[in-house]
Amino acid sequence: MTLTVQLYTMLSMAAMGIYIGAAIDTYGRFTRKRPSFNWFVACSDLLFWLMQALVVFYILLQANNGEIRFYIFLALLCGYAAYQSLFRRLYQTLLERLITIVIQTYRITIKLIVVLLINPIKYLLKVLYSLCMMVLSACLAVILFLLRIIWRPIKWLLFLLYKWTGLNQQVNKLKPIFRKMKGFLQSMRKKKE
């Protein structure tokens, strides 16, 4: 391994140490530590560290074809220490600001969608519903009016037929029978109660 490759490997591993420090802070910010053991947190921690190991190995593979030497671990440790002492506060401040900006952007986007899209659609649906109800009420009123106009002559004609055919006399004969049946049914109901 040439001196240039070694220097490139050292610099890339120091940068990866800074990256791992930032990744740990980001992961810690987005995950809540629970006081008791939790399988979900344990699995997500394991996946996080596997991803970090894969990223570091990929960079190492690009830098020196994956040769692992003792100074690589020292460079990672130096990069992590540099992050902790020099960049941690700055990164955490930037991360918090970025999170705040993303949350505010999300809230503004939701409010814009509600104001510009959902509220007008609700208003249009209310107006459409009101118009439909008005049209249906008007149509129903017209139909009822027409039925009244048509029904009066038919009613008058049926009444005349009722009188001329003598059905009224037959109905008058049946009325006492219906009254007796009604009285009988009422007396049966009272007995059941």
Range of the domain at 31: 3-93
Classify residue 170: in a domain, yes or no: no
Classify residue 30: in a domain, yes or no: yes
Q: For 145-170, what is the mean pLDDT? A: 81
Classify residue 32: in a domain, yes or no: yes
Classify residue 85: in a domain, yes or no: yes
Q: What pLDDT digit, counting tens, does each position of 82-103 carry? A: 999 999 999 999 999 999 999 9
Q: What pTM does this model have? A: 0.60
- From residue 153, how far is each of 21, 39, 79, 148, 156 by CA, in Å? 95, 84, 102, 9, 5
What integer pLDDT is reported at residue 34 of this predicted model?
A: 67
Is 80 exceeded by the pLDDT of residue 143?
Answer: yes
Contacts for 64 with CB less than 8 Å, ≥ 6 apart: 1, 5, 6, 8, 9
Average pLDDT, the chain: 88
What integer pLDDT is reported at residue 148 of this predicted model?
A: 87
What integer pLDDT is reported at residue 158 of this predicted model?
A: 81
Classify residue 39: in a domain, yes or no: yes
Classify residue 68: in a domain, yes or no: yes
Q: For 134-162, what is the mean pLDDT? A: 88
Q: Which amino acid is at 33?
A: K
What integer pLDDT is reported at residue 108 of this predicted model?
A: 96
pLDDT higher at 57 or 37: 57
What integer pLDDT is reported at residue 38 of this predicted model?
A: 78
What integer pLDDT is reported at residue 149 of this predicted model?
A: 87
Q: How many domains does the chain have?
A: 1
Write down the number of H helices and E strands in the chain. Answer: 6, 0
Q: For 120-127, what is the mean pLDDT? A: 94
pLDDT higher at 162 or 105: 105
